[in-house]
Amino acid sequence: MTRKSLLSLFLLLSVALSAQQKFVGGDISMLPSYEKANVQYTDRDGKRISDLVTFFRDRAGFNIARLRLFVNPDGKETGVLQDLDYILPLAKRIKEAGMNFMLDFHYSDTWADPTDQRTPAAWTSVPESALPDTVYAYTKRILEQLVAEGAAPDFIQTGNEISYGMLWGPQGTKTYYCHYDKDNNWDRLVSLLAQAGKACREVCPDAKIIIHTERTNNLTGSEKIYNRLASLDYDIIGLSYYPEWHNDIKSLKSLLAGLHNAFPDKDIMLVETGYYNNWYPANASYNFTSVWPASPAGQKLFLDDLVAATVDLDYMTGILYWFPEENPYNNRVYEPWYNHGLFNPNSGKVSDALFSLQVLRGITSGAEQLSGTPACLKADLPVFTIDGRLVTDTDRLPQGIYIRNGSKFVK
């Protein structure tokens, strides 16, 4: 092999290694409920989509999907259904499809977010001194069951939007609330997260641990949070970014750069983002409808701008869209309607915005997104390795970069 050929191969492999670190997908935790309700999902030509998981993979370039997990959800609140029995079949489908699986522990019976981090009812009688061990045992048990079923997570969130701590106490209490400017309860939070992380490392040693917060319009506050968690063993800073609450993309880029400078050993992922396909909330902190209309077209503009702003940030390793499967067209499974879904609420057809994120993986250009499956993803064409060898078993491709129809694609 000539020196020039070696250099070319080195450059291609460098691209491959870089591309492997870009993760594109969404939180699809409600999909089993939509499928049970026979909700109609159709492609751009109006043809019914039989399997949304493989559609996301093959047509939108998703290589990761996230599922949330509650401790003992009672099913009375919209969207709060995901116990282990609910998510296990979908987790197995995600893994069988060759996608990465992100597990989002809420450590609550209901939504865990900046306004509510209530302790699971079954844990409220546990002495404070024993609560870290309870978190450890629960985390380990869940992970062991997933591993045994062939659904080991590749990424694990130990808590959901824990900017102000977690396991505050019973409903309506904030006994163990944390604030980044006050010392109260941070040692407790670190102890809880350390035990959760210990279980992750023991059961899923190859999985990446994510600490997920949402002060995405506040660099100073975010830095203080992660500084207070500096002793923890974790891999990724996970963020929520919704422009109506977290300001514009310019502000986001400033925060990303600041966090990277402060914590250069951590990757950063947007584990939640989204935008409206219909009405815009009157109580939003920021109104961007003049930039991105609250419509399917506005969604696409938002995601195109988000991708353009972050695609060259090597430390920003992925974007996951929250609730892409929402589709109220023929059966409103989720009430009240959240109107962030990537299917047109008036037709059930896939929205163009769904195809915006795959640009992060270098799979296609914007012009190719609207013409059906990109050539590099079509399953009926032969696949070659980057050095020109024919791949005979395309159903079991390991992660890497490949060539199909003269175009590179990333597995």
Catalytic residues: 161, 272
CA dist., res. 370 & res. 59, Å (int)? 10
Pairing type for strands 267-273 and 316-322 reads parallel
CA dist., res. 118 & res. 124, Å (int)? 9
Which strands make up the sheet holding 383-385, listed edge to edge? 390-391, 383-385, 401-404, 407-410
Closest CA to 156 of 111, 116, 206, 93: 206
CA angle 335-296-64, nearest 5°?
75
CA dist., res. 160 & res. 125, Å (int)? 22
Neighbours of 13 (CB within 10 A): 14
Closest CA to 28 of 3, 72, 60: 60
Whether the Cβ atoms of residue 23 and residue 357 lie closer than 8 Å to each other: no
Whether the Cβ atoms of residue 41 and residue 348 lie closer than 8 Å to each other: yes
CA dist., res. 257 & res. 254, Å (int)? 5
Q: In the 8-state DSSP scheme, what is residue 302? A: H
Q: How far lies 82's CA from each of 33, 122, 149, in Å? A: 10, 17, 17
Q: List the structure tokens of 103.
A: 């597990």
CA dist., res. 306 & res. 359, Å (int)? 11
Q: List the structure tokens of 160.
A: 């959901």
Q: List the structure tokens of 216.
A: 């995405």
Q: How far lies 154's CA from each of 62, 110, 201, 268, in Å? A: 15, 24, 12, 16
Whether the Cβ atoms of residue 28 and residue 52 lie closer than 8 Å to each other: yes
Q: List the structure tokens of 358.
A: 């795959």
The widest CA-to-CA distance across the chain, in whole angstroms, is 70
Pairing type for strands 401-404 and 407-410 reads antiparallel
